[in-house]
Amino acid sequence: MNIVPDFRHEYGKAYLFSGEWETAKQLQIAVLENRRNTLGDDHPDTLQAMHWVAWIHENLGKFQEAEELGILVVKKRREVLGESHPDTLASIGDLALVLSNLGRLGEAKELNVAVLKTRKHLLGENHPETLITMSNLAYIYNKMGKLQEAEALNLEVLERRRQILGNSHPSTLFSMANLALTYHQLGRFSEAEALAVAVLQERKSSLGENHPETMRTMSNLALTYYKLERLQEAEDLGSVVLEKRKSILGDNHPGTLLAMGNLAMTYNKLGRLQEAETLLVEALKKQTDALGNNHPLTLRIQSKLGSTFNKLERWQEAEALLIPALEKQKDLLSPSHPHIMDTINSLAITYTELGKLKEAEDLNEALRRLEV
């Protein structure tokens, strides 16, 4: 007997992949409720629906909800299907990404490494699921600042996907975008730009201007323009991204807050300090409310606001933000992570202006060691 109407599940997936996440959420929640009522909480089809709802929550930036549901799905799939079942591994891999978005990078890495080991053993090096797991691990390495490891994995996945899927496949484009982000963090901005421009052209053509993956590529390219001192291009593209994300994702989505922070950085460098401050204060409050004081993105915005206060010559306010930001970043990120280095540099400037010359010199010496 076909108890669950498949069309709602399939339509929900279609809306998810097209970036219409709220519609996808409504359909998949309806499927989940139906399957719970007719099949029970532990049936594989019910767990499949729970898995999809958790994934949609993640895309909507509802990371706590995604974590709660993801933990439940992993637990039940381990009990019902076993540790090495493909569905169990998929749930563990998705939970790892949720944890990385919550800033719990060590836990995320451990889960993903375990999934990768199992998938390589069961499926081989070239299986699409193995490549997805390698790509996700590279993404986590990016966030941790382990950039050499991220680059090596991204290059390997990209080469394999090009050989197996071709240059224009969405998975290949995803790998190109990830590698562009790694190049950006490594300071190889021209290489990052070349990849991001190619990905953006393909994504606009295949997905449209308003798809979340198109906007993600635009956001990363705007940040690369910022680093290349092409500030007008950075502002133009960053403004478009912020407007689209507010309209499509809402004012409080993590992607919207990230766009606010990135545009504020451009305003900062353009000398439009009041506009930068306004954006950063709003973004910091919303990010803190959504993800807490210790999330890497919260600390990034906090650091950038401190840098803006430096430029506004509000040294005590800058110090009050930068000291705790640096302490927490050191606990979460690798020592040479670009975000830590930016905070160290900003705090050294603050100390110099406050006459704390010994503290400033100690930070500058630490920065020189990290740059070697």
What's the pLDDT score for residue 25?
87
* 12, 24 contact by CB (below 8 A): yes
What's the pLDDT score for residue 2?
43
What's the pLDDT score for residue 349?
96
Number of other CB atoms surrounding residue 54 within 10 Å = 25
What's the pLDDT score for residue 335?
83
* Helix (H) / strand (E) containing 307: helix 296-311
* 256, 249 contact by CB (below 8 A): yes
Q: Tell me, what amino acid is at 221?
A: L
Q: How many CA atoms lie within 13 A of 191 on its CB side?
A: 13
Which sign does the torsion angle of CA 107, 96, 68, 334 carry? positive
- Distance in angstroms (rounded) separating the CA atoms of residues 77 and 86: 10
What's the pLDDT score for residue 169?
92
**Which residues of the chain are modeled with pLDDT < 70?**
1-6, 372
* Residue 344 in tokens: 């160290």
- Distance in angstroms (rounded) separating the CA atoms of residues 172 and 199: 9
* Residue 144 in tokens: 């941790």
Residues forming CATH 1.25.40.10 domain(s) in the chain: 293-372
Residue 126: exposure state from Cβ atoms within 10 A (0-12, 13-18, ≥19): exposed
Q: Which CATH code for domain 293-372?
A: 1.25.40.10
- At 291-344, the pLDDT tens digits run 889 888 899 999 999 999 999 999 999 999 999 999 999 988 888 888 899 999
What's the pLDDT score for residue 245?
93
Q: Which CATH code for domain 209-284?
A: 1.25.40
- Distance in angstroms (rounded) separating the CA atoms of residues 227 and 187: 8
* 135, 172 contact by CB (below 8 A): no
What's the pLDDT score for residue 372?
62
- Distance in angstroms (rounded) separating the CA atoms of residues 29 and 49: 8
| Local structure of 302: helix, strand or coil | helix
Q: Which residue has the tokens 């990404």?
A: 97
